[in-house]
Amino acid sequence: MIPITSTIRIRTGRDGFPIWIPLFIVWLLLLPVVLLLLPFAFVACLAVRVNPFRAFSVFWHIISGLRGTDVRVEDGACSVLVHIPRSFV
Amino acid sequence: MNENRRKILEMLATGQISADEAERLITALEQGQPGAASSGSEPRPKPKYVRVLVEDNGQGRAAKVNVRVPMQLLRAGVKLAGLIPDHARAHVNEALREKGIPFDLSQIKPENLEEVIDQLADLTVDVADRDATVRVFCE
């Protein structure tokens, strides 16, 4: 299953603000673009002799594999957090 | 060797008990010990994440980094390596060889990764620098 939500928190000095990103809306917005580009991607895969179905499967796995990713970087007073939860909550 | 096991072996040596009885007693003794039944026989849970920690050594020069990467993402990455077209793979292999890493990307297979992941459960990489300490481990 692909990630549904994500949280990004950026802190600079004393100010910090978390941003909750509903990824399911992002996926829905991207869906028409993906469908539009799908035939071109299919042809491109065939041109470089890559099985297009395998390629789509791998990209699906990469997006699905992002669930559980957690990146925290702190440098002095600045910090960035990117969190993609495993489940919806 | 613990005291009970020594007694059993002494009894066996003096002929008070037979070899079969000694074996039964030792087996019963091992099963009665806490954790004996599960020692090494239960499969360990597979690690789910790779953690990379970079911590400042108190100098305030290095950024503090805490990254957790799911194993699923690594598996997908290995599959992605399998999608690289042959001619592009040859270029990548050549570039790696020039950098002193004689590695063939076509040799990376998902089943190899599973073996690596199994071994990673016991592995922790610690790199200490003047400014920072880097730790890579699985959890």
On whether both B24 and B63 belong to a single domain, the answer is: no
pLDDT confidence of residue B37: 46
B52 chain-A contacts, CB cut-off 8 A = none
Q: Determine, yes or no, domain membership for B75.
A: yes
Look at chain B and report how many structural domains it folds into: 2
- Give the residue on B whose Cα is nearest the Cα of A55: B83
pLDDT confidence of residue B36: 47
Name the minimum distance, in Å, from the CA of B119 to any CA of chain A. 21
- Residue ranges for chain B with pLDDT beneath 70: 1, 31-44
B60 chain-A contacts, CB cut-off 8 A = 76
On whether both B10 and B67 belong to a single domain, the answer is: no
Per-residue model confidence as pLDDT tens digits over B114-135: 777 777 777 788 888 888 889 9
Beta-carbon pairs below 8 A across chains A and B: 63
Select the more confidently predicted residue: B110 or A76.
A76
The CA distance from B139 to B137, in Å, is 7
Q: Determine, yes or no, domain membership for B39.
A: no
Domain hosting residue B57, numbered range: 49-138
pLDDT confidence of residue A89: 55
Select the more confidently predicted residue: B13 or A64.
A64
ipTM: 0.80
pLDDT confidence of residue A38: 93
Question: Which of B125, B85, B122, B123 is CA-nearest to residue B106?
Answer: B85
On whether both B55 and B95 belong to a single domain, the answer is: yes
On whether both B72 and B126 belong to a single domain, the answer is: yes
The answer, as to whether pTM is greater than 0.95, is: no
The CA distance from B3 to B9, in Å, is 10
A70 chain-B contacts, CB cut-off 8 A = 66-68
On whether both B10 and B65 belong to a single domain, the answer is: no
Name the percent of chain A lying above pLDDT 90.
58
Q: Which among A64, A73, A76 has CB closest to B65?
A: A73
On whether both B54 and B122 belong to a single domain, the answer is: yes
Q: Determine, yes or no, domain membership for A15.
A: yes
The CA distance from A77 to A85, in Å, is 25
Domain hosting residue A34, numbered range: 5-83
On whether both B108 and B77 belong to a single domain, the answer is: yes
